[in-house]
Amino acid sequence: MRCPALPPILGVLALMLLAAAPAGAADGDVHRGIARVVDGDTIVLAREGRAPDLRIRLFGIDAPEGDQTCTDARGRPWPCGDFAAGRLAQLAEGRVVACEERDRDRYERIVAICRVGGLDLNGTMVEEGFAFAYREFSERYVAQERAARRDRRGVFAGRALAPWEHRAAQRTGSTVLVGPNGCTIKGNISRSGRRLYHTPASPSFAETRIDEASGERWFCSEAEARAAGFAPAHR
């Protein structure tokens, strides 16, 4: 039995909806609404009628936290967390955003790839240097991060802790994450006299304190630390 043809106006509407949906999205996977930006990787979608607002975490990226400070190419501090939120607001605030759900996090937030028209917000934030590729969960945006690092865009123009390292430091109570010259490697002397350096990837980086009066110091590269007689701490 042949299905009746759709009236012309309904056919046009159906085609418009199909074109707006992200490729590969299944029914129920795409959430649409007017965006309000919370921070550099989180938005809230206000939906029509009585549908509750949805809090969305952008999939595959991690932007600097709101209280996070980075340093620029000249070693000057700047509020990279605020800038990341501001850039996402320029891209999405008050606009219709379509979010393709990929997962739910431990807080039951929707984790999604979000788009304004054909623009991938997640990828744009990384490509412009306002977010890191969140490799722990996906490598989707690794190429964009490499390009941003190569061209020294955004946080990659100077020095910045990855947001997950910043959060780890906060949990341990450490606030000194970047040296006065913008360097991020800590050269520490243990009680036994061992000279060790800690990168942001080192487990004890956050709680390690630097006492320059006792010969401890910050380094801008592992090569610089090794040349000064410091060995890598266990990772």
pLDDT in tens, 1-48: 444 444 444 344 343 443 444 443 344 489 999 999 999 999 999 998
pLDDT of the residue at 136? 92
Q: Are the beta carbons of 36 and 91 closer than 8 angstroms? A: no
Residue 69 has a CB neighbour count (10 Å cut-off) of 17
Cα(229)–Cα(169) distance, rounded to whole angstroms?
Answer: 26
pLDDT of 174 strictly over 80: no
Q: Which of 229, 157, 231, 234 is nearest to 201 (CA)?
A: 234
Mapped onto helix, strand or coil, the DSSP state of residue 83 is: helix
Query: pTM, whole model, 2 decimals?
Result: 0.67
Q: Are the beta carbons of 88 and 70 closer than 8 angstroms? A: no
Cα(230)–Cα(210) distance, rounded to whole angstroms?
Answer: 14
Span 51-64, average pLDDT = 96
* Interval 58-78: pLDDT, tens: 999 999 999 899 988 887 889
* Interval 112-123: pLDDT, tens: 999 999 999 999
Residue of 177 and 102 predicted with greater confidence: 102
Beta strand extents in 109-172 (DSSP E only): 110-116, 119-120, 132-133
Looking at mean pLDDT, say which of 12-16, 79-83, 162-166, 211-215 comes out highest.
Answer: 79-83
Work out the mean pLDDT of the chain and round it to a whole number: 84
Cα(10)–Cα(91) distance, rounded to whole angstroms?
Answer: 31
Output the CA torsion 209→210→211→215 (10° steps): 140
